[in-house]
Amino acid sequence: MDTLTQSVKPNTRRSQSTPVATAGDHAVINDFLTYIEIELGLADNTLCAYRSDLIHFSAFCLQQFSRPLVGVDRVVIGEYLKYLQTQRNMRTSSVLRHIAALKMFYRFLTSRGKSAENPTEHLETPHGWRKLPDVMNRSQIEALLKAVDPKHRLALRDQAIIELFYACGLRASELSDLTELNVHAELGVIRVIGKGRKERIIPIGKPARAAMEKYMRELRPKLLAVSGSRVPNVFVSRSGQPINRIVLWQRLDRISRAAGLKHIHPHKLRHTFATHLLSGGADLRVVQELLGHSDIGTTQIYTHVDADRLKNVHRRHHPRP
């Protein structure tokens, strides 16, 4: 891991020079990241987030308390959380992620005998407010699909991307990682590797299937010919290289603006996918499986979104509607 270059705003009169992590801190952070990657199979995005959180915490410990990570106690943890909330004005969701990283990190250290005491053992995880997901209605989905310029060189690809996002409820990283081997058009399903490298099978649906097959038949070979390479990813750039989730966000944002829609991102289509399934009468457990949620409590938030369905049920079954 590279030398630590992040600085932390001090809340004492200590030097404000950029701190440098000790070799010991680098080693234990690397050991922990290897553990959660190989043994727990956590996603790359989670690895990056936890790496950033622990590097920043290491800087805080050195600058504020002159202690390495294995030498902190509950007081240091408490001061760090106070610092995140008061000096960095961090959102509750981000603080919760820092807490999760610290708790997992120190459980790892104590289980490996690298730390005699777990300073996060009695740390309670506060529950943040759950924000209801913002979803699109059916007319907005139609407008988004129609906004793809048929004359654009990448129109077939962009059409297939939007159809697949909406039809399958994929995360941006899952769509960018989708490979030819995981597309089973003859069965009408795709195989997705999600968070924690968990596998799930998702039906495609006729419109998405037709759009993806047309893209793979008519456009994708031409894009691959530009680079002369044979990448396994289904969706590639104009230069024939795999597109990442950032590019997916950018293309979706540009198309949504052309449709007169704002703040449309891949996760909004994922929210819409789940909400529209539930409004059509889908079982909550099925939606949980399709989304790849490990906890059904995460899926249940979508039951609060579809107010129209609740009103219809009430109107049909209540004795005094």
Distance, in Å, from the CA atom of 238 to the CA atom of 255, rounded to the nearest integer, reads 17
Tokens of 134: 């913002």
The residue among 236, 267, 274, 63 whose CA lies nearest residue 153 is 236
Distance, in Å, from the CA atom of 96 to the CA atom of 60, rounded to the nearest integer, reads 18
What is the set of active-site residues? 171, 195, 267, 270, 293, 302
Neighbouring residues of 101: CB distance < 8 A, sequence distance ≥ 6? 49, 50, 53, 54
Q: From start to end of 177-274, where are the E strands?
A: 183-184, 189-193, 199-203
The residue among 150, 172, 152 whose CA lies nearest residue 247 is 172
Burial zone of 28 (CB within 10 Å; 0-12 exposed, 13-18 middle, 19+ buried): buried
